[in-house]
Chain A
Amino acid sequence: MSTASEPSLRVEDLRVEFSTEDGIVKAVDGITYEVGRGRTLGVVGESGSGKTVAVMTILGLTRAQGANITGRILFQGRDLLSLDEGELRKVRGNEIAMIFQDPSSALHPLYRVGAQIVEAVRAHRDVSKAQARKRTIELLGLVGISDPGRRVDDYPHEFSGGMRQRAMIAMALANEPKLLIADEPTTALDVTVQAQILALLERLQGELGMGMVIVTHDMGVVAEMADEIAVMYAGRIVESAATEELFAGPEHPYTWGLLRSIPTLDGPRVEQLAPIPGSPPSLIDPPSGCHFHPRCAYAQPDHARIDPGLEPVQGEPSHRVACLLAAGERRRIWEGLR
C-alpha cells in the first residue's frame, strides 16, 4: 500500500531521443521530478524546450514516433516505461488522462462529441452503450456544457473552442484518473475562455483529488494553477521550486527572462518588456557547457565549457537550479532586475 507522502508520479532521469535524418534529437535530456497526490506541477518553457515530449512520454505516446526512451516513470509503484503496449493501454485514459493544446484538432471531426466520450468510457469499463451515454451526459454537465442531453449528439464543429476543450476535459475525466496531464490546455483559446477553463480544471482537481501536470509557456497560468514549477530549457530542467519560492526569488537567468517577458498591470507603464534574445537552441547539437550560455546576458567565458547540474539553492531545500553564477551574484542581479 502506498502512503500519503508517496508521490503520485515520479520521473527519474528521463531521456527521450528521436533519430532523424539530421541526427539524434535529444528532446528530453535527463529530467527528474515528482508530482504529489492532488498536487499540481507546472512545466514551463518555450516551444521546443521538450516539455510536451516529456509529458507525452508518460503515457507512451512518443513510442509510436519511434522514440528511444530511457529512465524511469514511476506511477503507483510501477515503471510505466517497462510496460508493454497492452498494459500501458490500461493506464491511458484510465489512471492517467491527458488533454491537449488545440481542442479543435484533438476531437475527431467525423464522430459526434458524445460518441467520442462514450468510447473513452467503454475503453476501460464494461458498461452498456446506454450506461456509457448516461455517464457521458453527466460528464458534459460536470464540465459546464449547458443542455448536455442535447449537445451530446453534436459534432465537434458545432461546438465553440471553449466547449471543445470542456468536452476534451470530460473525456479525460471519464474514468476518474488519478493524474491529469494538460498540455498547453488554454493556449489555443480566447483569453476569457482561458480563465474559465483554468477555473474548471482547478475545481475538478479539487473535487476528484487528482494530481495534475500542466505544461505551458505562460507564467501566468502556472502562477495561478501550480503548486510546484519546473522550468525546462533545451530538454532539461534548469530550475524547480515551489510556486511561491520561484516567483519570490527566481534563480536562473532563463526564468528571469520568462518572468520579465510577461506584462504586469500593477507595474509602471514605462517599464519595457524584456524578451529573451535569440531562439531556443538546436536539440541535435546543443551549445556546449551551460546550454543557455549563448543567450545569457551574464555568461562568463568558462560557462561555455562547464555543464551545470541541478543543485539545491541555499536555505530553500525544495528549490533547485542549474546555473554557474554564484548564489550571491544571482540574488544581486535579480534584485536589480525586478
Chain B
Amino acid sequence: MTRYIIRRILWGILLLILVTALMFVLFRILPTGEPARLRAGRNASPRVIAALRRDLGLNKSLPAQFWIYMKEVIFHFNLGYSYYSSAPVRGLIAERLGATLSLMLGAAIIWLSIGLPVGIISALRRRSWLDRASMGTALLFVSAPEYWLGLIALYLFAADIGKVKIFPGAGSYVGLTSDPWKWFTSLLLPWLVLAAGSAAIYARLMRSNLTEVMQEDYIRTARAKGLSERRVVLRHGVRAAINPILTILALDIATLLGGAILVEVVFNIPGIGQLAYTAITHSDFPIVQGTVLLGALFIVVANIVVDIAYAYLDPQVRYS
C-alpha cells in the first residue's frame, strides 16, 4: 500500500510538470498579445518594450524560461509575478482561495443533501409520480448551462436587478471572517446555481446505482434476516451504491477548487475562477499558469485520495 501511494505521488508530480510544460508551450504558440507590449501601453517605444521584455525574462529562450519558472516553483514555491500589477501570483491565489473554497463547500453540501435523498427515494419508488417529477427536473438542471442558470437567477431574485428581490445580487460577496451573515446570504444564490446541475447528476447516479443494488442477493438476505426496510436500504443498499458516487464527488470538489469560472464570473465573486478568467482575457500568463497548475494539483491529489479511500471503502480492493 505505502509503495503504491509513493508511486502514485511520483506519477502525480511528473504529470504536474508535464501540465506546466504544456501550458508554457501553448501560451507561447497561441496568438495572444505580446505581454511586454500590452504592459507598456499603446504608444510605447521599442526601447521601452525591449527593456520590459528583459525585465519579464521574455528575451530568454523558451527552455530557459521554463527552467527558471520550475526552479522558482519547486524551490521557492514562487509562481511568478503578474505581467500587469507585478503582484506575486501566489499571493493573488491565496487571497482568492477563500471565496472559491466557500463557494465549493456550500454548493457541495447543498447538492449532496438534495441529490442523494432524491436519488434514494426515486430508486425506491420507481415510476411513481415523485420519481418522474424529480427525474424530469433533474434532466432540466443537467441540461441547463451554469451561466444561463446564473443569469436567470440574478434576473429573478437579485436584490438590485431582480423581479423578486430576495437575494443579494452579483458582486455582493464578503469574506466569512468580515461578516458571516453577509457571506452566507451573498453566496446562497451562487451555491444554488452551482449545486443545481450536480444535484441532478448525483440524484440520477444514486437512483441508477441503488436500483441496481436493490436487486442484489445480499439485499434479499438482509430482508430475510428481519431487518427493517429502512436499515435494509440505508445500511445495505446505499452503502453499496455510494462508493462510485464518492469517487465522482472527490473529483468534482477538486475541479471546483480550481475555480468555478462561470459562476464566479456571473456573480462577480473574487475567486480563483474569476482570477483565471481575467488573466486569460489580459494574457497575464503567470497568473494563468499558476491557476492551471493549482487546478491540476487538486485533480492529481483528489485522484490519489480516491484511490486510497477505495481501499477502505471496498475491502475487495487491494493495491500491490
Q: B-contacting residues of A (Cβ < 8 Å)? A: 56, 59, 61, 64, 85, 89-94, 97-98, 100, 102, 105-111, 116, 119-120, 123-124, 155, 157, 168, 171
Contact with A along B26-67 (1 / 0, CB 8 A): 000000000000000000000000000000000000000000
**Residue B4 at the A interface, CB < 8 A?**
no
Instruction: Write out the residue numbers on chain B whose beta carbons fall within 8 Å of the beta carbon of A92.
Output: 223-226
State whether A89 touches B224 (Cβ < 8 A).
no
Take A102-B217, A105-B217 as given contacts and tell me if A123 and B316 are in contact as well, using a CB distance cutoff of 8 Å: no
Instruction: Write out the residue numbers on chain A whose beta carbons fall within 8 Å of the beta carbon of B315.
Output: 109-110, 155, 157
Q: 9 closest Cβ contacts across the A-B interface?
A: A92-B226, A93-B226, A105-B217, A93-B225, A108-B218, A155-B315, A120-B225, A98-B224, A106-B217
Take A155-B316, A157-B316 as given contacts and tell me if A107 and B221 are in contact as well, using a CB distance cutoff of 8 Å: yes
Q: A-contacting residues of B (Cβ < 8 Å)? A: 216-218, 220-229, 236, 239-240, 313-316
Instruction: Write out the residue numbers on chain B whose beta carbons fall within 8 Å of the beta carbon of A109.
Output: 218, 240, 314-316
Instruction: Write out the residue numbers on chain A whose beta carbons fall within 8 Å of the beta carbon of B314.
Output: 109-110
Q: Which of A94, A108, A116, A157 contacts B226 (CB 8 A)?
A: A94
CB-based nearest A residue for B218: A108
CB-based nearest B residue for A155: B315
State whether A64 touches B223 (Cβ < 8 A).
yes
State whether A106 touches B221 (Cβ < 8 A).
yes
Take A155-B315, A155-B316 as given contacts and tell me if A108 and B229 are in contact as well, using a CB distance cutoff of 8 Å: no
- For the complex, give the distance between the alpha carbons of A106 and B313 in Å: 19
Among B217, B218, B224, B313, the one with the most A-chain Cβ atoms within 10 Å of its Cβ is B224
Take A155-B315, A155-B316, A157-B316 as given contacts and tell me if A106 and B218 are in contact as well, using a CB distance cutoff of 8 Å: yes
- For the complex, give the distance between the alpha carbons of A58 and B222 in Å: 16
State whether B224 touches A93 (Cβ < 8 A).
yes
Q: Which of A94, A100, A120 contacts B217 (CB 8 A)?
A: A100
Quote the shortest CB–CB distance from B15 to chain A (angstroms): 31
- For the complex, give the distance between the alpha carbons of A85 and B225 in Å: 13
Quote the shortest CB–CB distance from A54 to chain B (angstroms): 15
Instruction: Write out the residue numbers on chain B whose beta carbons fall within 8 Å of the beta carbon of A102.
Output: 217
- For the complex, give the distance between the alpha carbons of A106 and B218 in Å: 4
Instruction: Write out the residue numbers on chain B whose beta carbons fall within 8 Å of the beta carbon of A155.
Output: 315-316
Instruction: Write out the residue numbers on chain B whose beta carbons fall within 8 Å of the beta carbon of A123.
Output: 225-227
State whether A105 touches B216 (Cβ < 8 A).
yes
- For the complex, give the distance between the alpha carbons of A145 and B227 in Å: 25
CB-based nearest A residue for B313: A110
Instruction: Write out the residue numbers on chain A whose beta carbons fall within 8 Å of the beta carbon of B229.
Output: 85
Known: A89-B226, A91-B226, A119-B227. 10 other contacts (CB 8 A): A89-B227, A92-B223, A93-B227, A94-B226, A100-B217, A106-B217, A109-B315, A110-B240, A110-B315, A111-B239
- For the complex, give the distance between the alpha carbons of A145 and B239 in Å: 27
CB-based nearest A residue for B232: A64
Instruction: Write out the residue numbers on chain A whose beta carbons fall within 8 Å of the beta carbon of B316.
Output: 109, 155, 157
- For the complex, give the distance between the alpha carbons of A302 and B263 in Å: 77
State whether A61 touches B240 (Cβ < 8 A).
no
- For the complex, give the distance between the alpha carbons of A123 and B225 in Å: 7
- For the complex, give the distance between the alpha carbons of A111 and B239 in Å: 10
- For the complex, give the distance between the alpha carbons of A124 and B316 in Å: 30
Take A102-B217, A155-B315 as given contacts and tell me if A108 and B225 are in contact as well, using a CB distance cutoff of 8 Å: no
State whether A108 touches B240 (Cβ < 8 A).
yes
Instruction: Write out the residue numbers on chain B whose beta carbons fall within 8 Å of the beta carbon of A56.
Output: 220
Instruction: Write out the residue numbers on chain B whose beta carbons fall within 8 Å of the beta carbon of A91.
Output: 226
Instruction: Write out the residue numbers on chain B whose beta carbons fall within 8 Å of the beta carbon of A111.
Output: 239
Instruction: Write out the residue numbers on chain A whose beta carbons fall within 8 Å of the beta carbon of B218.
Output: 105-109
Quote the shortest CB–CB distance from B245 to chain A (angstroms): 14
CB-based nearest B residue for A97: B224
Take A100-B217, A108-B218 as given contacts and tell me if A61 and B224 are in contact as well, using a CB distance cutoff of 8 Å: yes
Among B226, B228, B236, B239, the one with the most A-chain Cβ atoms within 10 Å of its Cβ is B226
Quote the shortest CB–CB distance from A269 to chain B (angstroms): 39
State whether A100 touches B228 (Cβ < 8 A).
no
Q: Offer 10 A-B interface pairs, CB within 8 angstroms, sorted by A.
A: A59-B224, A61-B224, A85-B229, A90-B226, A98-B224, A102-B217, A106-B217, A109-B314, A109-B315, A171-B221
CB-based nearest A residue for B240: A110
Instruction: Write out the residue numbers on chain A whose beta carbons fall within 8 Å of the beta carbon of B239.
Output: 108, 110-111
State whether B225 touches A119 (Cβ < 8 A).
yes
State whether B220 touches A124 (Cβ < 8 A).
no
Instruction: Write out the residue numbers on chain B whose beta carbons fall within 8 Å of the beta carbon of A85.
Output: 229
Quote the shortest CB–CB distance from B291 to chain A (angstroms): 38
Quote the shortest CB–CB distance from A127 to chain B (angstroms): 15
Quote the shortest CB–CB distance from B156 to chain A (angstroms): 42
CB-based nearest A residue for B236: A108
Instruction: Write out the residue numbers on chain B whose beta carbons fall within 8 Å of the beta carbon of A93.
Output: 224-227
- For the complex, give the distance between the alpha carbons of A92 and B220 in Å: 11
- For the complex, give the distance between the alpha carbons of A157 and B224 in Å: 21
- For the complex, give the distance between the alpha carbons of A272 and B82 in Å: 89
Instruction: Write out the residue numbers on chain A whose beta carbons fall within 8 Å of the beta carbon of B222.
Output: 108
Instruction: Write out the residue numbers on chain B whose beta carbons fall within 8 Å of the beta carbon of A106.
Output: 217-218, 220-221
Take A108-B236, A110-B315, A157-B315 as given contacts and tell me if A100 and B220 are in contact as well, using a CB distance cutoff of 8 Å: yes
